[in-house]
A and B are shown apart, each in its own frame.
Chain A
Amino acid sequence: MAETTETPAVGGPDIDPSITSASPSVVDPRADAAERERLRRRAVNQDKFATGVLTAIIGLVLLIVVAMVAYILIEGAYTLVQPGFLTERSRANGTAGGVAYQLFDSFYLLFLTLIISVPISLGGAIFMVEYAPNGPVKRIASTAVETLSSLPSIVVGMFGFLVFSVGFGWKYSIISGAVALTMFNIPILVRAIQQALEDVPQAQRDACLAMGLTRWEATVHVLVPSAMSAIVTGVVLSAGRVFGEAAALLFTSGMSSPVSLNFLSFGFTSPSSAWNIFRPGESLAVHIYKIYGEGSPEAQQIVWGTAALLMICVLIFNVVARLAGRALSRKVTGV
């Protein structure tokens, strides 16, 4: 491309000082009119060319997104509408039957994960925004959160396996998986809630304290309610991420559900009770990973059906996050 030739050699930090001499559109009094016109036209053509390239790039990205989503939904649509796919348990190690248990396990894992991770993240974020001065505590805490967020999920899964499955003797269980997912989820949540709280105008904080409220009262009665819509959006979006996570679950919640589950048994310790948190469980995402390589046409249909189901759930989370956030903010602001 021609424009690389006029890239300034070494620039200042922000605006390149050499730009005035390098840029062809700047009038040089010695150049005659024709030369000026040539340079101007070149700059304009470059501009048009670049705009065209950028438009093509963005078109490509949109095409990829739409094509991927459509491909999954179309491939999986047939299986998804089969009677029993959503209500039957899987047979033959997942290669036949439905995905009812996997669907249940996914939501159960998500539910437990949110129960553990939302309070911790909320507390952590409140501490970091409202209590911690800009001192060492906040620096250490945010470094910790950042570290956790950059860790590959497989490492989190290995840690969960070592500590919860082996160390605590929980074996492959829903609760091990939920705790591993919690570790994966906390950094996402803390960041979202922190952002939500920071976006509350400082004036509100000042007003509360001026009226004699403690920081805690200000946080609970004023700041958290007014940040609520952004918090809910963040929680639901993170739920979408958790729902599709599989690598952290392979060694913690396991790769299979019990052969039969009893949803009416509330004996939380019985191995066949669906609600027993110490039984192994398999999420939809893990199910896909488990059987994607199976060659039989029926297994392939189940894989695509599961993928479509997972995709639809994630889409629903996305839409719900937006709608709930908007509805809540309308309620809070009264507009």
Chain B
Amino acid sequence: MAQTMPKRRLEKIGLSVTGACVALVTLVVVALILMVAGKGLSAFFKDGVNPLEFFAGTKWDLQNTNENGMPYVGALPLIVTSSAVMVLSTLLALPIAVGSAIFAVEIKPEFGRRVFQPMVELLVGIPSVVFGLIGFHVVVGFMKTVLGSPTGLGILPGSIVLAVMILPTITTFSIDALRAVPASYRQGSLALGCTRWQTIWHVVLHAAKSSLITATILGMTRAFGETLAVRMVIGGIEVMPTGLLDSASTITTTLTTSMAVYADGSPQSDILWSLGLLLMGMSLVFILIIHFVGRKGATERG
């Protein structure tokens, strides 16, 4: 059939079939963004929630309503917890990820390719509920027995679990970033009499700076949006966190526990969509930052 078809028609069919796939994906993404935005904004426009209260209010309680019949929608505790978990887990993961990437690229490249990278890929493949489960038993148990926390749940165990989860993301992208540094840079530095560490510290890391920043931001994006693993170790109590070992709740964990509870179209459901919009907005901002950093790196390289 295909052989007898005129070539131009065949080409047109190929173009339109594959083009339709791209159009479909693009359309779905646009629809998703518009619908989440529409739903998320309806809390402010339809239900009359004050954005200031949403972003700065500290009382989050969807079950009880105030005198106006509205639930308490101060999302600041959730935003603070999400940000704290994201920053803390990145701080924990970053040195380990970049350090092991340096080892796998600069010190033992063969070992890095053959042993280390498959191991890291394995870590990527471990499902997030399994991370959560191990966190719930090992990390939370550690917090209880060693640090004497009553429940063992909270921001610190959440950050530790997340740090392990974003470790492969940052490591993989860092390895790519370091490999992209031309070998001539290293040779030049070594020929000047620099030691290997001096070469790594002053030359290689310097040259890979913008890609390493991108790797870090990708890790942060994942940390900010991760849901179930955090849900299992953070406690899920929507109050302003006062310490690293108090139960708290991130944006994602609140969505997990509350989303299916409230009917579509209720103020409670609308405000949860606002949280979803916030999550989506954050990940879009992260993408923008990555593009900006990438472009800056490209112009610096000339």
Interface 0/1 of A118-137, CB less than 8 Å to B:
01111110111011100001
Return B260 CB to nearest CB of chain A, in Å: 6
User: A44–B25 Cα gap in the complex (Å)?
Assistant: 54
In the complex, which residues of chain A have a beta carbon less than 8 angstroms from the beta carbon of B138? 71
The answer on a CB contact under 8 Å between A15 and B188 is yes
The answer on a CB contact under 8 Å between B203 and A15 is yes
The answer on a CB contact under 8 Å between B127 and A62 is no
Partner of A250 from the list B10, B18, B260, B300 (CB cut-off 8 Å) is B260
In the complex, which residues of chain A have a beta carbon less than 8 angstroms from the beta carbon of B185? 14-15
User: A23–B95 Cα gap in the complex (Å)?
Assistant: 24
**For chain B, what secondary structure do more than half of its interface residues adopt (helix, strand, loop), or is it mixed?**
helix
The answer on a CB contact under 8 Å between A137 and B107 is no
Interface residues of A in 249-302 (CB under 8 A from B): 250-251, 285-286, 288-289, 292
Interface 0/1 of B265-302, CB less than 8 Å to A:
00000000100100110011011000000000000111
The answer on a CB contact under 8 Å between B189 and A148 is no
Is B177 engaged at the interface, CB distance under 8 Å to the other chain?
A: no
Give the residue among A47, A54, A146, A288 with the most B Cβ atoms within 10 A.
A54
Return B113 CB to nearest CB of chain A, in Å: 13
* B side interface size, CB within 8 A: 97
Interface 0/1 of B128-141, CB less than 8 Å to A:
11101110101000
User: A127–B31 Cα gap in the complex (Å)?
Assistant: 21
Partner of A152 from the list B103, B226, B302 (CB cut-off 8 Å) is B226
Is A87 engaged at the interface, CB distance under 8 Å to the other chain?
A: no
Interface residues of A (CB under 8 A from B): 3, 7-8, 11, 13-16, 19-20, 22-23, 25-27, 43-44, 46-47, 50-51, 53-55, 57-58, 60-62, 64-66, 68-69, 71-72, 119-124, 126-128, 130-132, 137, 140-141, 144-148, 150-156, 158-159, 161-163, 166, 183, 186, 190, 214-217, 219-220, 237, 240-241, 243-247, 250-251, 285-286, 288-289, 292, 303-304, 307, 310-311, 314-315, 317-318
Interface residues of B (CB under 8 A from A): 7-8, 10-11, 13-15, 17-22, 24-26, 28-33, 35-36, 39, 95-96, 99-100, 102-104, 107, 115-116, 118-130, 132-134, 136, 138, 164, 167, 171, 185, 188-189, 192-198, 200-203, 206-207, 221, 224-228, 231-232, 252, 255-256, 259-260, 264, 273, 276, 279-280, 283-284, 286-287, 300-302
The answer on a CB contact under 8 Å between B195 and A44 is yes
Leading 7 A-B pairs by shortest Cβ distance: A244-B127, A152-B225, A216-B14, A123-B21, A127-B18, A57-B99, A13-B300
Partner of A154 from the list B10, B30, B252 (CB cut-off 8 Å) is B252
Return A102 CB to nearest CB of chain B, in Å: 12
The answer on a CB contact under 8 Å between A251 and B11 is no
Partner of B15 from the list A11, A122, A162, A216 (CB cut-off 8 Å) is A216
In the complex, which residues of chain A have a beta carbon less than 8 angstroms from the beta carbon of B280? 151-152, 155
17 CB contacts below 8 A, A to B, read A20-B192, A61-B96, A71-B134, A126-B18, A127-B15, A141-B26, A152-B280, A154-B225, A155-B36, A155-B279, A241-B125, A245-B127, A246-B128, A251-B260, A307-B129, A310-B129, A315-B125
The answer on a CB contact under 8 Å between B232 and A289 is yes
Return A73 CB to nearest CB of chain B, in Å: 11
In the complex, which residues of chain A have a beta carbon less than 8 angstroms from the beta carbon of B203? 14-16, 19
User: Given A148-B29, A183-B28, A289-B228, is A54 in contact with B107 using a C-beta cutoff of 8 Å?
Assistant: yes
In the complex, which residues of chain B have a beta carbon less than 8 angstroms from the beta carbon of A162? 35, 39, 264
